Structure 1
Amino acid sequence: SAKKVLAENLKQQAHKLAAIKAEAEKKAEQLNGVELVIAAKVSATGATYGSVNAAIVAEELKNKGIEVDRKIITMRDIKHVGDFEATIHFHKEVEVKVPVKVVAENAAVETPVEEAPKAEAAQTEETAE
């Protein structure tokens, strides 16, 4: 009878593990095709003030409507602008790699400022003629 009990316990355990894995695969499918773009404050050399880490990635995913615990996200702390990858481990056999792009927060603000002197220079040339 002990063998029967053991066999039944193993069967139930395998069923639970299969259900957990199926749930993890379902969550992983939500992240298919998701790409994060994170705006960070950046110095003139391209280094970020502070770093982009798993907590920030988890918050960005939450903003997109996908709940992910920051503890299951594995990545290096990002300290400069560029393209990176965060790995999210839902299960030991189910992991998803999410591309993370870090861009300068103030780049959009600087672009119009650079164009303004060109426009002023063009106007001064016209008035000089």
Structure 2
Amino acid sequence: MAVFSNSQVNRIVVVLAVVMWAAVRGSGAVRADSSTVTAAGVTLHSVSVDLPGSDRSFPNAAGAEAVNNNCTGCHSPGMVLTQPPLPASVWQTEVNKMRTTYKAPIVAEDVPAIVAYLTQIDGAK
């Protein structure tokens, strides 16, 4: 994962704002077709990505609803279920990281149920 400084993020935001403003205004400084936009010396390319499908689901158990409601927006059940067995303390750290570092919209009341569920289905024995 790329890590950007505040000044780099600010520059990216400014460039994107200029590109969008110029595209909306129809400025001659912007060249746009179906796959690229260029402005201020920066070219953005549109890409398509085909993600693999999965029919895996979380096993029914206490806490499954909390996991489905909070985790599947970013994580497939298959990805979670293939993690190595982890103790509750590590699952707690992972869930906290999702909430604080990645700003996952997990309500604090659901955290204990998520940690208990992940430990139950895939915890260190």
TM-score (norm 2): 0.27
Structure with the greater alpha carbon radius of gyration: 1
- Pick 1 or 2: higher relative contact order, CA cutoff 8 A, min separation 6: 1
